[in-house]
Amino acid sequence: MLLLKHLKQLLQAMQKDGLNPVDINTPKIKMLYVRKRDNPLQQYLIQPEPDLRPLKKWLIDNLSVRCYTWKELTELLREEVWLNKHLWQIIVELRDAKQLTATGFSGRFSQKANPMLCLG
């Protein structure tokens, strides 16, 4: 009984905050979903296009200390919030701008070739 009282209070609070609870009945399970009204002024938690400037700074800061292989950078990247594809974009951008040099690989420039990446 106490649980139902708290659930009712929760639903009232959700409606007060602009959330619309939606009941979905299935044969064995009753689930409660919440849908937020669309607000064009609401900020996104995840942006459609990420801002890669902090990743670029992170990469330059790491490479200014010493050279890394691509695999080493990928391992370091696991502690950050970025994906490998973001790292790839920044590496290509810096290489095209001649700010990054890649050595120790043969064939096509790629992550699989595992080049040694240095600033310069």
- Output the tens digit of pLDDT for each of the chain's 120 residues: 555 566 677 667 766 666 655 554 444 445 555 555 666 666 656 667 788 999 999 999 999 999 999 999 999 988 888 889 999 999 999 999 999 999 999 899 999 999 999 998
* Predicted pLDDT of residue 69: 95
* Predicted pLDDT of residue 29: 46
Asked if 117 and 68 count as a contact pair (C-beta separation under 8 A), the reply is yes
DSSP 68-109: EEHHHHHHHHTTSS--HHHHHHHHHHHHHTTSEEEES--SS-
Asked if 19 and 35 count as a contact pair (C-beta separation under 8 A), the reply is yes
Task: Give CA–CA dist 118/65, Å, rounded.
Answer: 10
Inter-helix orientation angle 53-65/84-96, to 10° = 70
Q: Is the pTM of this model over 0.75?
A: no
In the chain, where are the structural domains located?
2-36, 53-119
Tell me which CATH code domain 53-119 carries: 1.10.10
- DSSP helix/strand/coil, 60: helix
* Predicted pLDDT of residue 2: 56
* Predicted pLDDT of residue 28: 46
